Structure 1
Amino acid sequence: MAWGTHVWNGGISHPGWRFRESSGLPDGNYISADENHKFGFRGKPFTELQLLRIVEGCAKEMNQKRTTGILPLDVERAFDRVWRKGLIYKMAKTGISKKMCQLIDSCICKRTFSVKVENYGQRTEAQKLECRKERDIPRTSNTTLALFADDTALMSSSWRKEHVRRNLQLAADELQKWFIKWKVKVNATKSQAILIGRKCDRIVGNINLGGANNIRYLGVVLDTRLTWRQHMTTAINKAKASTAMLHPLLNRRSQMSVRNKLLLIKSVIRPAMTYPSTVWGYAAKTYLRQLQATENKLLRMAIDAPWFVRNTQIYRDLKWEPLRDFLQRKAASTFEKAENHPFVELRNAVDYSPEDAGPRKKRPRHQMAQQGNR
């Protein structure tokens, strides 16, 4: 065990305990190798990789003229409340010592506050406990489970939409039993499924497939044809909202230096507008031009550029990387991480060339092949 300082019952313990492998809660990658569906709470948490896994799967099925159904589940207050007895039971069942279970139980029910020493603190241990809680989450055949922290989604693909509905319904029923057993509450009003691929009518059943034109998962808006039209609109609105908040600093009459203005744009507005660009970077040029135009207006306002100055000259004078070049560079970096990721399923999802994707529907890797055409 490593040493830290924690406070229980209003007093500081003589040095507090921190979990190590000897206590059954290993450091670092504390998720088992077979949990390829879980991308949160691990050594390299990266929401964009989970989204890339989902979008690659949907685009691949569309190329094969198959339909994919996605059902995101909204868990209410996943980290605000925890069923203490259920958590202790799972810890004991997975081989954690009795003393450690008693220590954690005392920490959960009696601790009033804690002290963080160096890199040791409460957050890391809470993540490990959350992984223990979700380790036995049910997985069914013909469905894919996607987890990132408390964001849960079910996926299923088939030639027939009825099979998709049935597979998702069976998986949702199993998850519902697990949620009830471990007292996890799901907001049913925000859990609406969508069909990606063929044009489908509304399906009557416990799951409303085809009723939604788009859904939101991990901050990304997915539509029925993966055109990214709605997400682009959302991204532009985010950029406009951020610009409005920072307008006193970025306007033409602001006394802030150009260097600091560009730093604000690069660190605040551009990340909000381009998240997660690797997933939608292959969208139609029309939508990408709209993003570029939004950024161009922002740059021109920041430097008070006259109307006759070209955007290319602004890029050259400011040494500013155009948005398209930035998206392609970021996509290359993300695909490199995906190719070297420990998850076999993710590596297989990105193991293709743009020529293999097929003419019917593009896939995210197409944006790298289009670099010379833009």
Structure 2
Amino acid sequence: MNDIPLHTEHVLFADDTALWTSSNTLTSLSQRLQQPIDAFESWCKSWKLKLKPTKTEMIPFRLHTRKKYKHPVETKVENTTIKPLDATRYVDVIIDKQLKWRNHLQHLESKMTRRISLLRYLAKSAQEPNQKTMINIFKAIARPVMAYVYPALLTANDKVWDRLSSWV
């Protein structure tokens, strides 16, 4: 993996790769994204790795989210045009184009609700629930859900943090 020719910001996690860049113009942005994508495609071919354009997603972050552009940002992976999305998931973190975290919080709430319900069931069904055991179960099944995405939520506003803290 050390010879990947990406001259842009990127992160690798298992078989997932994320690329990002910034620009003052949309035309320049498309070009700045396409160049590392082409280089990555070429690298994959040389190592006989198969890309899946159908799994490739793109999300543009911009200052004026309501402004409509004549020529939106588009890139191609193996001759497949990748159109911008309003939200995407990367390593179980849902990122929306405004970085509001609303979709991700709903996803987290769903996961946490199931886990907390399991804890309640276990506490009710035990004749004498052991507090230490319940805390250990919480640490094992609920806390990792929150801790896993903690770095991604560092940009979240106070409302998001208030909702998160109400779960624990």
TM-score, with length taken from structure 1: 0.39
Which is greater in Rg?
1
Per-residue CA distance 1:56-93 (angstroms, 9 max, x = gap): xxxxxxxxxxxxxxxxxxxxxxxxxxxxxxxxxxxxxx
Amino acid at match of 1:208: I
Tell me the distance in 2 between the aligned counterparts of 1:271 and 1:243.
Answer: 13
CA distance in 2, matches of 1:246, 1:192: 36
The partner residue of 1:273 within 129, 146, 152 is: 146
Residue 4 of structure 2 aligns with which residue? 137
Go from structure 1 to structure 2 and tell me whether the alpha carbon gap of 1:190 and 1:241 turns closer, same or farther (over 3 Å shift). farther
Shift of residue 192, structure 1, vs aligned partner: 0.6
Please tell me whether the aligned partners of residues 4 and 43 of structure 2 are also in contact (alpha carbons under 8 angstroms). Answer: yes
Report the CA distance between 1:159 and its aligned residue: 0.9
Runs (5+) with no aligned partner, structure 2: none
Letter in 2 for 1:270: R
Between the two structures, name the one with larger relative contact order (CA 8 Å, sep ≥ 6).
Answer: 1
Per-residue deviation, 1:247: 4.5
Q: Deviations over 1:182-235 (max 9, x none)?
A: 2111221121111112326544552535x2112222322222122222221111
CA 230–274 in structure 1, closer or farther in 2 if over 3 Å, else same:
farther
Equivalent-residue separation in structure 2 for 1:288 and 1:230 (angstroms): 15
Aligned to 1:286: 159
TM-score (norm 2): 0.79
Residue type of the alignment partner of 1:186: L
**Corresponding residue for residue 113 of structure 2:** 240
Q: Does 1:177 align with 2:53?
A: no
Counterpart pick for 1:254 among 107, 112, 126: 126
Matches within 5 A, 1:122-201: 134-140=1-7, 143-198=8-63, 199=65, 201=69
Matched pairs, number: 158
Determine if contact 2:59/2:85 at 8 Å carries over to the other structure.
yes
Q: Specify the alignment match of 1:208 in structure 2.
A: 82
Could you tell me which runs of 5 or more consecutive residues in structure 1 were left unpaired when the two chains were aligned.
1-133, 296-374
SS at match of 1:158: coil
Q: 1:236–1:273: 8 Å Cα contact kept in structure 2? A: no
Give the whole-Å Cα distance in 2 for the aligned partners of 1:185 and 1:245. 40
Contact 2:21 2:32 in 1 (8 A): yes
CA contact (8 A) 2:119 2:134 kept: no
User: Does the CA-based 8 Å contact 1:238-1:273 persist in structure 2?
Assistant: no
Change in Cα spacing, 1:163 to 1:196, as seen in structure 2 (3 Å) is same
Residue 86 of structure 2 contacts residue 97 of structure 2 at CA under 8 Å; is this kept in 1?
yes
**% identity of equivalent residues:** 27
Quote the RMSD (CA, aligned, Å): 2.3
Offset at residue 241 of structure 1 (A):
2.5
Distance 2:153 2:109 in 1: 14
Deviation (angstroms), 1:151: 2.3
